[in-house]
Amino acid sequence: MPEPLTIALAKGRILDETLPLLARAGIEPADDLASSRRLVIATNRDDVRLVLIRSADVPTYVQYGAADLGVAGKDVLAEHGGNGLYERVDLKIAPCRMMTAGIDGRPLPRHRLRVATKYPRITERFFHRQGRQVELIKLYGSMELAPMVGLADLIVDLVDTGNTLKANGLAPLEHIMDVSTRLIINRAAQKMKHRAITALVERVEAAVAG
Ligand code: AMP
């Protein structure tokens, strides 16, 4: 029996929409992921297992081949850089935009802007391309608080309905990129496990189309 294909998934918003898609592709976890404390989860198929990790770690597991495939947001992939992996299928899950945002109605100060974000690499690249020097402040969550308490002039975050920004007195300013969820594949696995991966990718593509 060959090694099973390992798919890296992260708990949260993306998982809730990924599981029905995987089910349509014929892959169902053997445990209830919401309540299980296991990090390695068997599936209804002997040749596929799941690992549950933090979303920002999914590209790293796939890059190093610790997982053959993974499901990750374009935001996380762009921040990681994409070394060692292919972005294979746009799963069309959790579409949103990455934007800058600032205090609604307040002009930006003239000093060097302080920008708070979970995405320092993307943010740095965005401002660098425009020839704007900014001071980056790395945060791990609740970015919307930063302008209100004077920690930053701007934030860079994901925006879906815009309700979170609005509830915190912020307005979206500049569009950085569109984001949706991607199926990613380890480059070496794509060669070594070509048949198994291609078959799985085709089932996932059919599930997305259906
Ligand atoms: P909203 O209020 O609908 O604009 O959603 C914004 C909040 O949800 C922010 O805290 C975002 O970080 C988060 N968010 C929005 N879309 C996504 C997504 N596709 N993946 C992860 N987080 C998201």
Confidence at residue 3, expressed as pLDDT on a 0 to 100 scale? 85
Structural contact between residues 154 and 130, judged by C-beta atoms closer than 8 angstroms: no
In this structure, the answer to whether residues 186 and 163 fall within a common structural domain is no
Amino acid identity of residue 6, one-letter, is T
Site of tokens 């990750």: 72
What is the C-alpha separation between 16 and 175, in angstroms, rounded? 26
Give the model's pLDDT for residue 34.
Answer: 84
Separation of 156 CA from ligand 1 center, angstroms? 12
A 10 A CB-CB count for 209 gives 7
**Given ligand 1 and candidates 13, 77, 96, 118, which is best to mutate, with the most ligand atoms within 8 Å of its CB?**
96
Query: Which ligand 1 atom lies nearest to the CA of residue 93?
Result: 19
Q: Does 87 lie in the same domain as 33?
A: yes
Q: Are residues 200 and 150 in the same domain?
A: no
pTM of the model: 0.95
Q: Which residues pair with 71 in a beta bridge?
A: 183
For residue 85, the domain's CATH number is 3.40.190.10
Instruction: Please tell me the predicted confidence (pLDDT) of residue 1.
Output: 67
Q: Say what the pLDDT of residue 2 is.
A: 75
In whole angstroms, what is the distance from residue 27 CA to residue 22 CA? 5
Q: Which atom of ligand 1 is nearest to the CA of 118?
A: 12
β-bridge pairing 40-42 and 48-53: antiparallel
Half-sphere exposure (Cβ direction) of 49: Cα atoms closer than 13 Å: 13
Closest residue (by CA) to atom 5 of ligand 1? 160
Same domain, 184 and 173: no
Sign of CA dihedral 44, 46, 48, 54: positive
Looking at the fold, whether 188 and 84 belong to one and the same domain comes out as: yes
Name the token pair of 163: 């309700």
Contact (Cβ atoms closer than 8 angstroms) between residue 203 and residue 26: yes
38 C-alpha vs ligand 1 centroid, how far in Å?
27
Phi, psi angles (nearest 5°) of residue 71: -120, 120
Do 160 and 184 lie in one domain? The reply is no
Residues 79, 140, single domain; the answer is no
Same structural domain, 184 and 90: yes
Residue numbers of the domain that contains 133: 97-177
pLDDT in tens, the chain (210 residues): 678 999 999 988 899 999 999 999 999 999 999 888 999 999 999 999 999 999 999 999 999 999 999 999 999 999 999 999 999 999 999 999 999 999 999 999 989 999 999 999 999 999 999 999 999 999 999 999 999 999 999 999 999 999 999 999 999 999 999 999 999 999 999 999 999 999 999 999 999 998
